Structure 1
Amino acid sequence: MLILLHIACGLDSRYMISRIRPEKFKVLSLTTIASPHRGSSVADYVFDQTGAERLPQIYYALNRLNVETGAFGQLTRKYMTETFNPNVPDIEDVRYFSYGAAFEPSIWSAFRMSHRVLASIEGPNDGLVSVSSSRWGGESGYKGTLMGVSHLDLINWTNRLKWLAAEVTGNRRKFNAIAFYLDIADMLAKEGL
């Protein structure tokens, strides 16, 4: 059983299962959460706005700040649909499951701009990945869309101050990442995986 939570891990795990084919263990299933299986319009937008001639300078600046940039170009919709997916097919005896997420950002959200870009092109999204791009594993493999959940909520990075403010104002936290992951483990156990 592999449960993957981060944007790159789902794609890395698909690659590992399909291309590396580990021999020391057997992968029975892969569950991805908000992985951009079909790329992200946010990556497309950044590349379009930046322009190819300025990319080396931006990569240099980000690398100096210790921000990893290597995979960013591989998150475009074109790369994912024309290069990655055709070369990383699903393996027949592995069960694939996926979840997506969607929310409406507040005025203070770090995802306001990226959400707007994604919503205008791909529809509902978690601020970084659209629901349509998150879907993987066929109809029976898509387990659902988590509503009111951002990408940071999914990886349990939601800021504690936000939780405190919500509790003080009488709003309860609507999403508990740890409980969600435990539910996935329970679902996989019931599936015999």
Structure 2
Amino acid sequence: MKWIEPKKYLKKLELSEFPQADIIQLKYPVLLCHGYGGFSTLLSPAPMHKPCMRLRSFGIHAFAPNIVPYGTISTRAEQWVRIMGILQDKYGYEKLNVVAHSMGGLDMRFAIAKLGADESVASLTTIATPHRGTSLAELVLNSPDTIREKLAEFVDWFGESIYPTTKSDAVAAVQQLTREYVTEKFNPSILNTDGVQYFSYSAAVGKGTEQPLHPIYRLQNQLIFQNEGINDSFVTDESAKWGKHLGTLPISHLEQIEIQVNKDRKPLVENFWLELAKNLKKSGL
């Protein structure tokens, strides 16, 4: 039997003086803005609740409120501005770092450019936001009229059931996510504002990559790939790039907000949110 020296064995049990992860001290708190849709609230108190709690575990003041899940950009932007005001009044925050997922990034670009939110926003980091639209929106709008109308009725009913204070408008919102609308109407009038730092993450999984994808999203991933190229099953890699591009994530649209994450994929998601927080710190935010 091989003899193990007691000192060598005990060395493995030696306590670290500070075993917890470092606190990430940011200058400003983080507001997480969710995108289009509300079905994720069946699994979580808010679409970005889990990322919010992850940021809080880093020692960051973070908030992930709910707004109307199926509304136009201007309607949603007004609600984000109202929420920012509530947080500033309640906690005395001077400014906030906004981290916006998917359509939430368009909402906040509108709020900054048109609603005076630039006074309250230090930075905007978008995650898989369709800054040049998405062909998925066009596929939805081009579905047979009967199917589209019935689906819209159900989605609006669901949206108003979970968020009854604002009328949902699922079809109008999807129309504002098309490539034509975003590139020809939205982008020319919604310009970046001086004094706000803009960052972005894009993502790509499935077709054209070596990254796995949940089978339920395989068809739309392939259709978007045929129309535009590699994507995260909702938005393409190229469409999501805006401001300073921080990288292409190997995680899907829902994995980014910690929904439907398999155990072996969890480290990728955890590392992404850690790197996002570190970027804000490194940028003096």
Structure-2-length-normalised TM-score: 0.56
Partner of 1:145: 248
Partner of 2:277: 185
Provide the rounded CA distance (Å) in 1 between the counterparts of 2:97 and 2:182.
21
Provide the rounded CA distance (Å) in 1 between the counterparts of 2:102 and 2:256.
10
1:64 to partner: Cα distance: 2.9
1:174 to partner: Cα distance: 5.7
Provide the rounded CA distance (Å) in 2 between the counterparts of 1:43 and 1:120.
14
Partner of 2:143: 49
1:49 to partner: Cα distance: 2.7
Identify unmatched segments of 5+ residues in structure 1: 164-171
Is contact 2:234–2:253 with CA below 8 Å preserved after alignment? yes
Is contact 1:5–1:155 with CA below 8 Å preserved after alignment? no
Provide the rounded CA distance (Å) in 2 between the counterparts of 1:9 and 1:173.
24
| CA offsets 1:81-131 (integer angstroms, 9 cap, x no match) | 111111211112212110111111768522111101110111110000000
SS of residue matched to 2:215 = coil
Partner of 1:83: 185
SS of residue matched to 2:254 = helix
Provide the rounded CA distance (Å) in 1 between the counterparts of 2:255 and 2:221.
14
Is contact 2:201–2:249 with CA below 8 Å preserved after alignment? yes
1:153 to partner: Cα distance: 0.7
* Percent identity for Structure 1 against Structure 2: 36
Provide the rounded CA distance (Å) in 1 between the counterparts of 2:153 and 2:215.
27
* Residue 61 in structure 1 maps to residue 154 in structure 2: yes
1:61 to partner: Cα distance: 3.1
Provide the rounded CA distance (Å) in 2 between the counterparts of 1:144 and 1:107.
19
1:11 to partner: Cα distance: 1.0
SS of residue matched to 1:173 = helix
| CA offsets 1:47-103 (integer angstroms, 9 cap, x no match) | 12335x864444223223448514111111111111111121111221211011111
SS of residue matched to 1:104 = coil
* Residue 21 in structure 1 maps to residue 113 in structure 2: no
Residue identity matched to 1:83 = K
Deviation above 6 Å: which 4+ runs of structure 1? Answer: none
Is contact 2:205–2:213 with CA below 8 Å preserved after alignment? no
Structure number with greater Rg is: 2
Provide the rounded CA distance (Å) in 2 between the counterparts of 1:107 and 1:90.
33
Cα–Cα, structure 1 residues 57 and 36, in superposed 2: closer, same or farther, change >3 Å?
Answer: same
1:3 to partner: Cα distance: 3.9
Residue identity matched to 1:49 = S
SS of residue matched to 2:234 = coil
Partner of 1:130: 236
